Structure 1
Amino acid sequence: MKQWQRWAVAAAWMCGASAAMATITVTGSRDFGGEKVGTSCSGGDESQQPVILIKDGGTVSNVVLAAGKAADGIHCEGSCTLKNVTWEDVCEDAATMKGGSGKTMNINGATVNNADDKIFQHNGIGSKVNISNVTVNGTNGKLYRTCGNCSSQGKRTGAITDVTVNGTIKSGLAGVNKNYGDTVSIRKVKWKNFDVNKTKVCVPFNGVIKGNGEAKELPVEWGTTTCNVSKTDITKF
């Protein structure tokens, strides 16, 4: 690195910029030690690249995605684990599961702030996403959504437990495609100002193949195969 480049990096850090200027690819395990990383943010542009790409079997831990630089968050290509990850301000999605049949994404310990749309996006058919020990702050759309209009569709499975919602979640804790056999279990959720008659928890959809319109939202469900959650699983505080 040339001297002027060193000065530029130093100046960026002094202004609070993040460490990464391009996608970080993780193979194996990487502990970031609390490092703040990021690239850019183009709002809801779904063509943005991830800040971190985790290869099959990889783990990332103790990392902060910087506000205004979180792009499309973290992508998981196969099975992966996220431990103690903080999003200062979500750009497009916080993390996306792309791994396919038999693969699992484990999110164990996360703090998420202000996801206008989805926090955790589930695309990989035949895979599972486990979400635990997560705190949600600010204004958000959904915590978890299986893909409503991917180019191919099939069953996806989710599990949500030990979640604290300090902020707001406008359109449902979880959204899943009933017509493709998606299922989600929800346990031990603490939700500020929760109203069982107004607050959406599990929202089923009729998903579609990309190019065939938009997924259709269906009435909220409790205690079904699609939405494995009871009203006692949600505690108001």
Structure 2
Amino acid sequence: MTINKVLFGLFLSATVLNAQATSTISGTVDMGGKTVGTSCDGQSESQAPVFYLKDGATLKNVVIKSGAAADGVHCAGSCTLSNVSWPDVCEDAATMKGGSGKTMTVSGGSAASADDKVFQHNGLGSTINISGFSTSGTIGKLYRSCGNCSSNTSSGARKVIMNNVTINGTVKVGIAGINSNYGDTATITNLKIKGYKSGSPKVCIEYKGNNTGAEPTEIGEKWNDSYCKVKTSDVTSF
């Protein structure tokens, strides 16, 4: 199913929408606060997304239905997620698939109860820019650049930029995980974490990634180096 400005009116007929297949977004679509979902098969990696955003697409003001969030949102190129919320993440909330020079912009919105991660970053040479976002409940990680994708290469560094993010809940692993051996970087400013104490949770974790599918090797939490561009003063407790 393809959604654009012309078809947007179809989405105003119900408060909660239960689609059977992925909805493809082109252009700018403002859902007006509607709740949309498909299904959820736990942590299955084979799930389709609820929304697939074409290059240049913007999705605004939508709630991804609890218990039907599947693999969330997939971004094929540059895209914008504005005030998109996941009250109960299924597999991942959103995945960046866009390649070199492409950016997924996350402005506002929230996520809760992510067993693994909120944002998955697969596209080589691309950027995820997160601002004004918040989490609640328990999450595994807020962000992870793919640690064992077959496409991983040192010439395809991924970047994440976080500003004004609030973590209002438990983090099992860490805020951001990057592969320093592939040149990935995480730039973090104005991060607020409820009950934060040094090392709990870890803020920026460097890994030695691979392209074999094996479990990446954790190097450890790092501060203010070439890859983890975050200072202790950038993180506050509340």
Compute the TM-score of the two structures, normalised by the length of structure 2: 0.91
Q: Which structure: greater strand fraction?
A: 2
* Gap runs ≥5 in structure 2: 1-13
TM-fit CA distance, 1:214 = 1.2
Give the superposed CA RMSD: 1.2
What amino acid sits opposite 2:177 in the alignment? G
Which stretch of structure 1 is more off in the superposition, 193-202 or 100-109?
A: 193-202
TM-fit CA distance, 1:197 = 3.6
Who is 1:40 aligned against? 39
| SS of match in other structure, 1:44 | coil
User: Where do 1:15-34 residues align within 5 Å?
Assistant: 18-34=17-33
Pick one of 167, 179, 182 that aligns with 1:180. 182
Q: Could you tell me the percent identity over the aligned residues?
A: 54
User: Where do 1:72-151 residues align within 5 Å?
Assistant: 72-151=71-150
TM-fit CA distance, 1:18 = 3.4
What amino acid sits opposite 1:143 in the alignment? L
| SS of match in other structure, 1:179 | helix
- 1:193-227 deviation per Cα after TM superposition (whole angstroms, max 9, x unaligned): 0011432000000001033x211111110001110
Structure number, greater radius of gyration: 1
Distance in 2 separating the partners of 1:20 and 1:132? 29
TM-fit CA distance, 1:21 = 2.2
Contact 1:152 1:210 (8 Å CA) reproduced: no
Q: Runs of 4 or more off by more than 3 Å in structure 1?
A: 16-19
| SS of match in other structure, 1:232 | helix
The answer to whether the aligner puts 1:161 opposite 2:183 as a matched pair is no
Which stretch of structure 1 is more off in the superposition, 195-204 or 119-128?
A: 195-204
What amino acid sits opposite 2:217 in the alignment? K
- 1:17-59 deviation per Cα after TM superposition (whole angstroms, max 9, x unaligned): 6332211100111000111101000000011000000000000
Contact 1:18 1:69 (8 Å CA) reproduced: no
The answer to whether the aligner puts 1:219 opposite 2:220 as a matched pair is yes
Distance in 1 separating the partners of 2:49 and 2:115? 17
Contact 1:101 1:125 (8 Å CA) reproduced: yes
- 1:51-93 deviation per Cα after TM superposition (whole angstroms, max 9, x unaligned): 0000000000000000000000000000000000010100000
What amino acid sits opposite 1:43 in the alignment? G
What amino acid sits opposite 2:23 in the alignment? I
Distance in 2 separating the partners of 1:180 and 1:62? 35
Distance in 2 separating the partners of 1:63 and 1:163? 19
What amino acid sits opposite 1:88 in the alignment? P
* Gap runs ≥5 in structure 1: 1-12
